[in-house]
Structure 1
């Protein structure tokens, strides 16, 4: 791994000067913290070990979760704080070595969420400029808006989770949309009734049934996954199979929503028009109570765009897509990346993750937003 350069150090100094505390999380971290919040798919890319007591440890695969754990350890997780970092992270990659430099910032506890979102994006833009990269493009998505729209369509929870994970994964979104189309509905199979029964059962009882079946079959672990992990995955698939088609109007509204892209303000206008059409078709409820979360998500989107404009970002040059996401399960709102044209790997990537602190052990959710700066990619983009 290359060492931090003078340019890297100067960027950290700038962040410290504007109020970000420089943190140095330990390289060795509890593996469960990453797997629980980022998903089992991360396990195969982690460098794992164990301590003398058998507890599973890992070399930190990123610095967001270690920084969040550092914040929790201070004892006041709801208190506002901002951090910056620069250090080695370790994970298997398709290209490049398993050790590389990651910089970044994290903001916890700020209730003015849209302003904090805009600050993180603006700091990321400054970092890109600081490294001398002149052709980077800003891409935005909004998982909060996606969730609010899907909730208003009354799509089953299992499919909500599946579609949210699809964002940012090439081809999967299109395949799952096709699976949800009315034309894809199929007749019953020998095990359809069993899957439907599991979907309707008490979650703990259903998991116990699947674990018992695995035990009878002599299966205790597969690919590092325990019987309990396998049962959870099987039950998720059962929920998907038990509700594998949507009404035509609902499917049409969802497909139209996920096709929206453009600059943020034109995209917002398209979403407003779609909401009107979806209500007329009956896909969306006209109830004020059911519409409130979607209305709040739209207002947050508009407010964030206004803050970005006040910070000097050219919104006409920003690319927003309702289907855009990042391959981490813990995002709850804004997601964004700075990328070079024609190059998929981002220079900077981040977003909002308001539930991360609670999932890591705090008593309640805490507003949180941040981004990772991929230092080697920045250096390559300079040449």
Structure 2
């Protein structure tokens, strides 16, 4: 599989540089991470779409490396290695990224912003969306579609339902990976199909157990067998798998929980309507979702203050971008004329930096711009610098 360099759209590089200047004027300094990156963070933390598109290699020491498929993780790693770590800091970037895309160029330009350490999360989220709109406007697109969601709302719902940990992990994983969650929930409610499982005795022994008990049982069994792993899986991974299967075998997701999740996932529309529906759901089910809904409402207020016509914004509780490390606000900007692939996309990822080695969680939010796609679709005004381009207002649906 060979890399194919992307043909630069006429003027796209120049307009990208102007866009980067506008980001700098907004207070985001230039970051230039290395093109060759450790592969492990992308394999462990990214969504399936990125994992399956990596270009991998191994150095002389045996370390697995990759050409960067995205710039969020590289910028985050550089921030963690800097003297600014733990302090509010914002970075912009412009450079090539590399992904296998099935017939499309494997190398393409990406610009964007990453913001770390800001505690005013709703305001920071709104700033990202406003700057993303400025990016599309800089390329001559004044009619874009804004699609938004919030992983934190779904996580708050699942936590409030107080489900078994296995259900929590599975539902949140499926949400983040863009599986049709409603169909998945239906499938999970079915009891295990009849027929003897070769591990039925182990599953029966684990029924109702917690993770500590499951780990102890599997450790003992594997010690007796004289092995420490099976098929590359560790004892803890095997214990988690057995515990998951025993929970699934034990019966259906509680009917009231299933009904609540389905009602939640059906909420969509403009943000104000969604907020009203979410508060009604919380009242009817007596679930404490106040903090997550309040944060959502605060963000909408900051969006309006930034000039975004929120009533024209599309919000859906089931919206997800398929990136495993997102923890909150997510958004995509699409061209009305061609809404299949996003032009700009981003979101909040408060847990990523801790998973990359930070001793504590650090708030983080950002977005990426697909420069050449924007240049091909948009019609930039050569006499109008990107830094003076206002955010698109009243142009979303």
Bin for the TM-score computed over the shorter chain = 0.7 to 0.9
Query: Does the CA-based 8 Å contact 1:196-1:238 persist in structure 2?
Result: no
Q: SS at the partner of 1:100?
A: strand
Gap change, CA 1:34 and 1:240, over 3 Å in 2 = farther
Write the distance in 2 (CA, Å) between the matches of 1:340 and 1:235: 46
Write the distance in 2 (CA, Å) between the matches of 1:326 and 1:42: 12
Q: How does 1:22-101 map to 2 (within 5 A)?
A: 22-38=30-46, 42-101=50-109
| Larger Cα-atom Rg | 2
Q: Structure 1, residues 221-247: CA drift from partner, whole Å, max 9, x if none? A: 5xxxx6689748845853763466222
Query: Does the CA-based 8 Å contact 1:28-1:59 persist in structure 2?
Result: yes
Q: Structure 1, residues 156-187: CA drift from partner, whole Å, max 9, x if none? A: 33333333333375653122121244xx2357
Q: Which residue of 2 aligns with 1:263?
A: 270
Matched, 1:251 2:258: yes
Q: Which residue of 2 aligns with 1:105?
A: 113
Q: As a proportion of its length, which structure holds more helix?
A: 1
Q: How does 1:184-263 map to 2 (within 5 A)?
A: 184-186=190-192, 189-191=195-197, 192-195=200-203, 197=205, 200-202=210-212, 204-205=215-216, 220=231, 231=238, 234=241, 238=245, 241-242=248-249, 245-263=252-270
Deviation of the 1:132 alpha carbon: 1.1
Query: Does the CA-based 8 Å contact 1:128-1:378 persist in structure 2?
Result: yes
Q: Which residue of 1 aligns with 2:306?
A: 311
Q: Structure 1, residues 247-297: CA drift from partner, whole Å, max 9, x if none? A: 222111110001100001100101111112223xxxx4xxxxxx2xx2111
Number of aligned pairs? Answer: 365
Q: SS at the partner of 2:52?
A: helix
Gap change, CA 1:159 and 1:251, over 3 Å in 2 = same
Query: 1:339 is matched with which residue: 311, 334, 340?
Result: 334
Q: Which residue of 2 aligns with 1:20?
A: 28
Deviation of the 1:75 alpha carbon: 3.7
Q: Which residue of 2 aligns with 1:9?
A: 17
Runs (4+) off by over 6 Å: 209-219, 226-230
Write the distance in 2 (CA, Å) between the matches of 1:90 and 1:196: 47
Gaps of 5+ in 2: 1-5, 380-397
Gap change, CA 1:254 and 1:57, over 3 Å in 2 = same
Deviation of the 1:314 alpha carbon: 0.4
Q: Which residue of 1 aligns with 2:386?
A: none
Gap change, CA 1:193 and 1:255, over 3 Å in 2 = farther
Q: SS at the partner of 2:109?
A: strand
Q: Which residue of 2 aligns with 1:141?
A: 149
Q: Structure 1, residues 295-345: CA drift from partner, whole Å, max 9, x if none? A: 111110010000000000001110100000111110111111112346331
Gap change, CA 1:116 and 1:190, over 3 Å in 2 = same
Report the TM-score when normalising by structure 1. 0.86
Q: Which residue of 2 aligns with 1:287?
A: none
Matched, 1:380 2:393: no
Query: Does the CA-based 8 Å contact 2:343-2:369 persist in structure 1?
Result: yes
* Alpha-carbon RMSD: 2.9
Q: Which residue of 2 aligns with 1:363?
A: 359
Whose relative contact order is higher, 1 or 2, with alpha carbons under 8 Å and at least 6 apart?
2
